[in-house]
Copies of this chain bind each other. A is one copy, B any other.
Amino acid sequence: MSGEDAPAQQQNAEEQKQQQQAQEETKTPAESPKTESKPDPPPTSASTEAAADTPAPAAEKAPEEDTFSYRALVLTGYGGYDKVKLQVKKGKPALKSGEVMVRVKMCGLNFADLMARQGLYDRLPSPPVTPGMECSGIIEAVGEDVTDRKVGDKVLVLNRSGMWQEVVVVATTHTFLMPEGMSFEEAAALPVNYITAYLMLFDFGHLRPNQSVLIHMAAGGVGIAATQLCKTVNDVTVFGTASASKHEVISQGGVTHPIDYRTRDYVEEIRKISPKGLDIVLDPLGGSDTHKGFNLLKPMGKLISYGAANMLAGQKKSLFAVAKTWYQQFSVHTLSLIQGNRSVCGFHLGYLDSETELIAQAMAVVVDLYRQGKIKPRIDSTYHLEQVGDAMRRMQERSNIGKIILTTEPMKEEEKKEEAKKDEEKKKDDKKKDDKKKDDKKKDDTKKEEKKKEEAKKDDKKAEEKKEEAKKEEN
């Protein structure tokens, strides 16, 4: 990182501190270290932690506040999927002037959430903290001086963090009215992916008819949003990388040339079709892929870097992957940009949260495109809060096509049973595997024993033969 970033970092640190303080103010006993010391739930399903042993709220609180409680996902520390736990928060959150309280229906899962869980995303306040940058829901209460929202309004919410819970309190400027006909799933899938894709393609990228764009992870949330937005402009050629099994879906979605990055050199494939190169490269990968993207640019071409997915090599932080991505990180001199007539941009919505006007403008355009039927979020799958580990694993393993959603809807009894059954089956599976291993070991051991015995017999036989020979010689 270069020296000129120092002031920005200072500012970030300060904001983080403020956020952390706010977090602590609303912290309930359920989040106290006491509950944290309980044994961890199984890795991929977050169990609801009861708060029965917490002290009773102070007497001066209103009765409603006493009984007000809601479930929240909480990142308890950096690490694997099991670090995100489902907890119960108690007490009604305070509502300041200009704020609204939203009863959350659906939440969106983003790549930044995976980075955050590993401690690789500095915009999330330190644990314990509720992650999540977006959700949809219904306004349940409005603070003083709120005139543009009322109880019952259906809204999309975009915030720096804290959206993965049943109740959120945010500034009205962070909420946007849902248009007619939009589902809560779609509303939770829209903000981060579509605003990111929109600002990258149209503000930094200045996308125009007849241009060509490379979209990595084209079956991911941003990938699908970017493809749809490209299609709102005439005759844009979209190159999209994704594994072969997803090609049919992304082709139908608008990708002109799907490329399987696992079996093909995408640079070579693109050069074959577009020898002059590309107008825009969206790069969520970082490391060596940024270099490749830069070299694919035409004159007046724009490389837009918006992540470092190459840093994520598994469930837990891989120091090797981080170091490699960091080491291979792209750096460029202005004189070489001048000679190539090129642009290199960096984008991350998480660092734009204070730019409310800019975000509001972009959201207005995106919502309008939805109204016109030009864009439509594709939902890959919906998980219960309890299943957040499975949801994150699906994204980490790049199994999704489209958006992964978390729903606050409680699991139905049959779902719970099914989930329990799955868990049971998993356990059985694991036991079977264990048993098989033990069995195999036993069989192995028996075989070895038999072999030994046989060898011993052979030895005995040899000894007897020797004895007999010795007798014959004596005779």
Contact = CB atoms under 8 A, between A and B. Distances in A.
A364 interface: no
Contact of A290 (B199, B308, B334, B354): B334
Interface in A278-315: 283, 286, 290-291, 294-295, 299-300, 302, 305-308
A263 interface: no
Interface string A1-31: 1101101110010000000000000000000
A335 to B, nearest CB: 6
A331 B329 contact: no
How many copies altogether?
A: 2
Q: For chain A, give the interface size range.
A: 35 or more
A332 interface: yes
A7 B337 CA distance: 14
B346 A345 contact: no
Contacts of A358: 299-300
Contact of A345 (B294, B335, B337): B337
Contacts of A339: 1, 5, 8-9, 12, 346, 348, 351
A336 B305 contact: no
A344 B344 contact: yes
A290 B2 CA distance: 14
A154 to B, nearest CB: 29
A355 B291 contact: no
B334 A331 contact: yes
A111 to B, nearest CB: 13
A365 interface: no
Interface in A322-377: 326, 329-348, 351-352, 354-355, 358
In this complex, the member of A290, A295, A336 whose beta carbon has the largest number of chain B beta carbons within 10 angstroms is: A336
A336 B5 contact: yes
Nearest to A298: B355
A332 B329 contact: no
A261 interface: no
Nearest to A5: B336
Nearest to A354: B299
B291 A4 contact: yes
Given A291-B4, A295-B4, A300-B358, A341 B334 contact: no
A203 interface: yes
13 contacts: A4-B291, A5-B336, A8-B340, A204-B300, A300-B352, A302-B345, A331-B333, A334-B344, A335-B346, A338-B347, A340-B351, A341-B347, A342-B345
